[in-house]
Structure 1
Amino acid sequence: MWWIFLWLSVASLECASKDLINICMDAKHHKSKPGKEDDLHGQCTPWKDNACCAVNTTVEAHKNVSYLYDFNWNHCGIMSEKCKAHFIQDTCFYECSPNLGPWIQQADSSWRKERILDVPLCQEDCEKWWEDCKGDVTCKDNWHKGWNWTSNPRLNRCPVDAKCKNFTEYFPQPSDLCEKIWSNSYKYTTYKRGSGRCMQLWFQGVENPNVRVTKYYADLRNQAMVSLPAPLLLLLTLVLALSSWGGLRSDGGLWLSF
């Protein structure tokens, strides 16, 4: 009978892989499921046919200071428009993309339960971002944490001992910018746009090129799981089943809900 359980294991993992292709992460402003949003604003419009963001989120993404995260791009003076355009696009990608499944991780945070880690960015997107921002000024290389939030109204300010310097002082190379600025949410790659191996922050037209990329990495993950020894595969299947039926308690026991 073991082969029946093995087959069920493979089938379960294949379903899990498919689920990674079109999902929204559990975070502060994300919808629970992706769907059509005809009126997405500005640079977020490429996701209008299938988005994890709502219209008001995309409007706020274009403001210098928005209610999304109370984050001020101009913490070391006025950010240039060409640089800010990349951060707006980064925000649209993060808030709107339903194609980040393979890189979603659990997050221990008060404002989100999940985050992304090591999303492979296309070389052109990362290098253009760095090129257009290298003349701008900041005071930190990790914008996720370490800010002074004591101002009223609440806005991010530079830490007392931090100095405003040119972007290239904090991010000497394009890879430093893309990987450090959001705690390794992104990973710099040498893959080119259209390769099917890297995610594009920017795209135009009806077809979202990131769908193909997500499927590639979801399939890789699935293949890696299938190649595991049968006992471990069965154990993973049990974990998946428990997740579907109820779950594991924090004390190591299990609870079921039907």
Structure 2
Amino acid sequence: MALLTDKTAVVTGGASGLGRAVAELFADHGAAVVVADLRSEPREGGAPIHERIADQGGDAAFVECDVTRYEDCVDAVAAAEEFGGIDVMVNNAGIVGPQTPLVDLDFDEYQTLMEVNLRGVFHGSKAAAIAMLEQGNGGSIINMSSVAGMQGYGGITPYSAAKGGVRLFSYALASELGPDDIRVNAVHPGVIETAMTTEDSPTVGTEEGEKLKQTIPLRRFGQPEDVAGVCGFLASDLASYVTAESIVVDGGNLNSA
């Protein structure tokens, strides 16, 4: 059953990793997708996802987007008008940033991470909310947080701070926009096998990673499709009464002994 027929979604950071999987799943379920990213080429290699969707008969477009620039997010949302206007906003773009003890942390590095991971969510949410309110048809805003936004992790203090900010920002915005039938939720992935966990912050495929995997109840790391499935639910009418919520996608690790 197609869950997103006649819906249009904007996915920031949609060219690679989690965003690419989200864009692909949304298209598979009938949505038109605007892929908003700094570049169209996926880090994993292969064809750009908007081209792949179009080649398979779906509706998709690419917009170059730096989420630290509000104007870029406005342009990405405006691109959805080609397909009837925005119904779903997925604020997925993010970086790992410095993995440095606080006492050695340079403020400029901290600021860069906060600009992308928290300010970017603000920009994307604001641009989407304005358009959704003007359309008057409700909508769904999905903000990508992390298990680090539920629990502090030493060594990645700025990342935890930003992702924790995304969580509470989502709750507050859900309160503001709920009367207009706009739902806002946060998704909190654990270790998911993407370039972020194999290259930027190597965990998957390392000795330490193998030890970590044995503490996960499902005994595996997540795949991008695991996160995309949750986003598909939150974007769909199946989640019409779900807002101001956090959904953790980590194989059960955060809440298990």
Please, what TM-score do these two structures have when normalized by structure 2? 0.27
Structure with the larger helix share: 2
Whichever of the two has the greater Rg, that structure is 1
Name the structure where strand makes up a greater proportion of residues.
Answer: 2
Higher relative contact order (CA 8 A, sep 6+): 1
Output the TM-score relative to the length of structure 1. Answer: 0.27
